[in-house]
Copies of this chain bind each other. A is one copy, B any other.
Amino acid sequence: MSEHCTPVSPVRIAVIQYDPQVGLENCDGNLSKGLALARCAAREGANLIVLPELANTGYTFHTRAEAYAHAETLEEGRSLKAWADFAREYQVYLAAGFAEREGLKLYDSAVLFGPQGLLGHYRKAHLWNQEKLWFTPGDLGFPVFETPIGRIGLLICWDIWFPEVPRLMAAQGADIICSLNNWVWTPPPLFDEAGRCMASYLTMTAAHANNVYIAAANRIGSERGGRFLGCSLIADTSGWPIGEVASAEEECILYADVDLSSARSAPIWNSLNDLPRDRRTDLYDATLGYRLHAPMPR
């Protein structure tokens, strides 16, 4: 939490873990189920609510035609209209994943709505498995969106396997990253004795190494032979989960009360270390040209 006595940007985060199911006949149910859980969260005082990847459509398409039929446009999608209405009605910030159609292209996308309307739009850059058969890799970079409650980045699932992604968002001053997921099988063991999976640790270390909050919503359940891992979590800027990591099985809402502005203060290591200052961009350049031109703005 912040060093300030009064939180500058008090936010109650809610991460929503549920079980959307693929199939056009299920889309209405998926949408209303996600909104019902979001409504619970809003009534509990949450004002930043995160739904999973492809929250309204389910995940496991069988054909490109099926994926196409599930998709909505950014401008006219009915799920997007429902999410926008919800954010305005409840005066909250809502991140959600959907299958986006633009012309003949499909993207695995995420949107961020606030009371004011659409605040952010992101297209998944790193596609997982058969997503490569339906979706076009994202072309919007890794933007961070200025909002009244703070700077918010959006990433989707496999993106976090690439440490460049949270790094780039931190470099743009992100206070929190909303991580929208349909985490599936990774090489065993799936879970360790702490009940966490490798995705939990990728989330925790990305938060820790970049001094940023990460609110990671995953889905649960099975779909057409594939199983999802749950394990949603909210990582503090220290990397450690705030409260529990969600189970692999149960529908749930995770909450965390934070002052988002605390991500702007350096971690309290000691008087000599500061993560952005300690970066050796000179050597990253010299060793194969790996670099981040712009200094981190905090």
Contact = CB atoms under 8 A, between A and B. Distances in A.
Interface string A234-267: 0000111000000000000000000000000001
A268 interface: yes
Interface in A280-298: 280, 283-284, 286-294
Q: Point out which of A129, A205, A269 has the most chain B C-beta atoms below 10 A from its C-beta.
A: A205
A205 B122 CA distance: 25
A11 interface: no
Nearest to A125: B280
Interface stretch (A12-20, A88-96, A136-144): A136-144
A267 B126 CA distance: 16
Copies in the complex: 2
Given A129-B273, A202-B209, A209-B161, A290 B291 contact: yes
A104 interface: no
A192 interface: yes
Contacts of A162: 209, 278-280
Given A187-B268, A194-B192, A267-B187, A275 B161 contact: yes
Contacts of A133: 272
Given A158-B278, A289-B292, A289-B294, A283 B129 contact: no
Nearest to A163: B163
27 contacts: A125-B280, A125-B283, A126-B278, A129-B273, A132-B272, A139-B283, A141-B283, A141-B287, A143-B287, A158-B273, A162-B278, A162-B280, A163-B167, A164-B167, A164-B284, A171-B290, A172-B288, A187-B269, A192-B194, A193-B194, A194-B194, A194-B196, A198-B240, A201-B201, A202-B205, A288-B294, A289-B294
A240 B284 CA distance: 27
Interface string A52-86: 00000000000000000000000000000000000
Contacts of A204: 198, 201
A291 B142 CA distance: 13
Contacts of A126: 278-280
Nearest to A275: B161
Given A162-B209, A194-B194, A167 B283 contact: no
A216 interface: no
A6 interface: no
A148 interface: no
A39 interface: no
A72 B291 CA distance: 33
